[in-house]
A and B are shown apart, each in its own frame.
Chain A
Amino acid sequence: MKCVDSSEVMRLFAGKLSVERAELVNTHFDHCDQCAVLRDEIGAMTSRLQHDPDEFKDEAAALEVMTLIRMGKAEKPEVVPSRFLFWKSWQTWLLVPATAAATAVLMMVLWSPTKQDATDGFQARGAETINLNAWVSLQVFRAGKNGYEPVRDVIAADDALAFSYLNRSDSQLRYLAVFAVDNQGEVFWYYPPNVDAGNSPGSVSVQSGAQPIELPEQVAHHLRIGLLRIFGVFSKDPLSVQFIEAQAGRDFVTSQTVERMTRVSLPDVGQYSLLLRVENEMDREPN
């Protein structure tokens, strides 16, 4: 056979040659010193990537990790059933007139824009291309001292968040996942709240209707200071947490910042996203 070129040797190293061709090339090396030199050169380059067995052994680093774990610093965010707190917060609002006014504002926030969008979606597009995003929305609340407050654009790093959703898809979108992505691309899960053991984690079945419905848990993460985007993804079929996370990861890599990452590329879903600024509790004005 003819001599091989470096590109073919690299194809061999990359496992791209057919078994027959690889065999031929390997036999050729036995007879042709020139080609064998080429193989050895590329082999030497790749073998330099290998490390001495102890180069990356770091017991001190492992010990630090174990110390954090023993101190309980690596545990999952706490999840508290929030129904009671919701009720309590409503009670507070009823008692305090000023905050009762806030309730009215909140209801308007929940209603008007989505209603408008949904109508636009219907009129502008045919049945097949209806914009599923127009049917759904999400309202974020933070647990404050006086109960729940709707979140507009700022939260504190360790705020417990709770959510209500509006799903006007007439049962077409039956599953919901709520998560946040920060500007390091880390994903934080809110719903399902505790991505947990045996039961395969996935988006959870939700209702649809004309009323906002609250999610049963509040979740606190230790968030990074900076921008955070919260996503509510409503889907026709349950989506696995891992699948969504992988897709969100890819989208983040593409858009590089959460400001630009307004959607997660998922087929056949309605989604709603909200960009928030995470601040230290100290930096926030008391309200």
Chain B
Amino acid sequence: MTESVSIHLVETRAPKTLGDLSDDDLMLLVKADRRDAFEALMRRHQPLVFGIATRFLGDRALGRDVMQDVFLSLWRERGRYKASGRFRSYLVSMTLHRCHMVSRNRKSQDRRVSALARAQEETPHNERLPIDVVVEQERSRGLRRMLLGVPEHHRQVLILRFAEDLGLEEIAEATSLPLGTVKSHLFRGLKTLRKVVQKESSS
């Protein structure tokens, strides 16, 4: 199953030249219904969206659903994007919007890709990873759980800043928050996270 999937991926890989284009240039092609350009764009940003959603929701399967949903609506609403060199912020704000909604409604009735997705979830993702990577992942999974102890609007900036390494300005753009608010959310988020971590390690 896994093997046939990767063979298929090799066949459908976008031409190398597409990978060299900027996000905005790719989106221009996407607006002209170019699926190969969309695929290139998705390959570039899929881990970002998946990572944010998983950390925000504390659940890899939900994070995966959100990621697929975000890209499906990016395609569906491809006409809406205006090239401004801010594609990443645009994508991140779509991701956060989804995450907030999902966290309000944890029911997973929205699994548009459910059958395939479930089969994937049942396969442990890190099967073939070296042991130290697995240990490290366990560690970060523990922290991910603790992250859930941080209020959502603080949590989102913590994730963007420290997990995804976005700049403060970019976070402000993606969250539609003033820069000062982003900074104080970060400060408060850090404070809460530290408390949660300290409590966890002392118990």
Contacts and interface: CB of A to CB of B under 8 A. Distances in A.
B194 A6 contact: yes
Interface in B158-189: 158-159, 161-163, 165, 168, 176, 183-184, 186-187
A19 B53 CA distance: 33
A56 B137 CA distance: 11
A56 B47 contact: yes
Given A61-B67, A64-B117, A50 B54 contact: no
A43 B187 CA distance: 13
B77 interface: yes
Nearest to B78: A197
B137 A55 contact: yes
Contact of A10 (B31, B176, B191): B191
B97 A74 contact: no
The secondary structure that dominates the B interface is helix
Contacts of A196: 79-80
Contacts of A224: 109-110
B8 interface: yes
Query: Size class of B's contact patch?
Result: 35 or more
Query: Size class of A's contact patch?
Result: 35 or more
A134 to B, nearest CB: 31
B113 to A, nearest CB: 5
A58 B64 contact: yes
A16 B100 contact: no
Given A56-B63, A60-B2, 6 more contacts: A45-B143, A54-B47, A65-B68, A184-B104, A194-B79, A196-B79
22 contacts: A14-B187, A16-B183, A45-B143, A46-B162, A47-B162, A54-B47, A56-B54, A60-B120, A61-B50, A62-B42, A62-B43, A62-B71, A64-B116, A65-B75, A65-B113, A70-B35, A184-B104, A201-B80, A241-B80, A249-B97, A249-B100, A252-B101
Interface of A: 6-7, 10-11, 13-16, 42, 45-66, 68-70, 74-76, 183-186, 194-197, 200-201, 224, 241-242, 246, 249, 252-253, 256
